[in-house]
Amino acid sequence: MKETTTGRTNADGTKRQLSNRHVQMIALGGTIGTGLFLGAGTSITKTGPSIIFIYAVIGFFFFLMMRAIGEMLYKTPSEHTFIAFISRYLGPKMGYFAGWSYWLELIFIGMAELTAISTYVRFWFPNIDAWIIQIAILAILASVNLIAVKLFGEAEFWFAMIKIVAIIAMIVTGIIMATTSFKTPVGHAGFSNIFDGFKFFPNGLTNFIGALPMVFFAFQGMEFVGITTAETKNPHKVLPKAINETIYRILLFYIGAIIVIMAIYPWRSLNADQSPFVQVFALAGLKAAAGVINFVVLTSASSSLNSFLYSAGRHFYQLASESNGTIMPKFKSVSKTGVPARAIAFSALLIMLAPLISSIPGIDNAFTLICSTTSDLALVVYLLTIVAHYKYRQSADFDPDGFVLKGYKWIDPALIGFFVVIYFSLFFNGDGTIPAIGGLIWCIGFGLWSAREKSTITIPASDNENNQL
């Protein structure tokens, strides 16, 4: 590999311009999403204090998944996505299936985020058409991704900073209210509220199981930090630190926030249709609570869309790299600034269809269904990634001196079982049944198509690249 004046340059022309602070904040941004700011109220009302246990267990499994992905990326840090390991260790056809499934998920969820962003902006500017807002926001974020990866890193740094400040402010405010027995319209704040009349299944086992996918998808996107590895200046130092600290972020920002929310607001009194953050700040006397949290959620959604666009561009670039067809290789190009510009631009153009789709009368329900279905496909891709990790550990590629996940022989099967349980839990959530069935249909239909695909190429075993970085 060669050095440039702006940092290390990979063999394919992409540049390692993301610093430690960029990656750390991208990891934070990927961990914290709108699922916490908006969706936590619904999950709390479903299960009560037991939600703490659900967040802890699912967060722990996500951490283990990140350790497995991190081990493979530590060995081969030039890979732009973890999908490459599915292709390498499970075969090109399986990689083709996983790559296209995951990329489509990113596109549709990106569309959903773009649609949500326009709703948040119209909170202040109700007279502006949603499609104008969507086009303007996407144009800005696409430009951020196309100019240079360092600019993307800076944008995510500040997006994540806003989210972190909001959560810490809420936690500090909540602790003060709880320790001073702050009087609220629904009683007194205090940590005793959390376990007052405690029952593990206060609303029944069905609601408890139905909360599992809600919490799971709140963590979705955590894997994005691994996608930055190929463009990080010192991956062997930065990657393990970013992944290992994931567990602390889960404890502080998710479990800490949930505990404080329930301490201030008895969980039976929470309004599931309103952000619990708005409710807490409103109780504290912040008159502009709704506006402040709307800004934070707007930032969070913009951060998510920015990351989805970044990830979609790299995944499409990976798909192009693994294809020997006539069209896909055209997207295997890197701009002078070191980004896969064509892959990013194509992904952005597809996400741009969101304004058109949302303007078609009667299409909203179908669009929501597609987004939910593609989101469910992440479970399948995660499962395949863990199988690939198991194969990696049994291959000649395994580096015993790398970022080793100890106990993989029981951790990997446990993760696979975990993903299966989460998939079946979708059938206990009324809104999740049809998308779950749609996901199964996609797996069968597209799986058969992928088995006949002839344009894929075999990725060779990795070299000792980790000794070169």
Structure tokens of 228? 């930055």
Q: What is the CATH number of domain 19-467?
A: 1.20.1740.10
For the stretch 31-57, pLDDT in tens is 676 777 777 888 888 898 999 999 999
Over its C-alpha atoms, the chain yields an Rg (Å, rounded) of 22
Element of type H or E holding 187: strand 187-188
CB burial class (10 A; 0-12, 13-18, 19+) of residue 141?
buried
Q: In terms of pTM, does the model score above 0.85?
A: yes
Tokens 């863990």, located at residue: 386
CB 96 within 8 A of CB 460: no
pLDDT at 263 over 60: yes
pLDDT of residue 459: 62
CB 14 within 8 A of CB 149: yes
Tokens 């944008």, located at residue: 155
For the stretch 411-452, pLDDT in tens is 999 999 999 999 999 888 777 788 888 888 999 999 999 888
* Residue 185 CA to its chain's centroid (Å): 36
Structure tokens of 61? 């499994």
CB 97 within 8 A of CB 105: no
Strands (E), 78-143: none
pLDDT of residue 5: 35
CB 242 within 8 A of CB 27: yes
Task: Report the candidate in 371, 293, 387 with the shortest Cα–Cα distance to residue 88.
Answer: 387
Structural domain spans, the chain? 19-467
For the stretch 310-369, pLDDT in tens is 889 999 998 988 888 778 888 888 888 888 999 999 999 999 887 777 667 666 666 566
Task: Report the candidate in 456, 469, 466 with the shortest Cα–Cα distance to residue 90.
Answer: 456
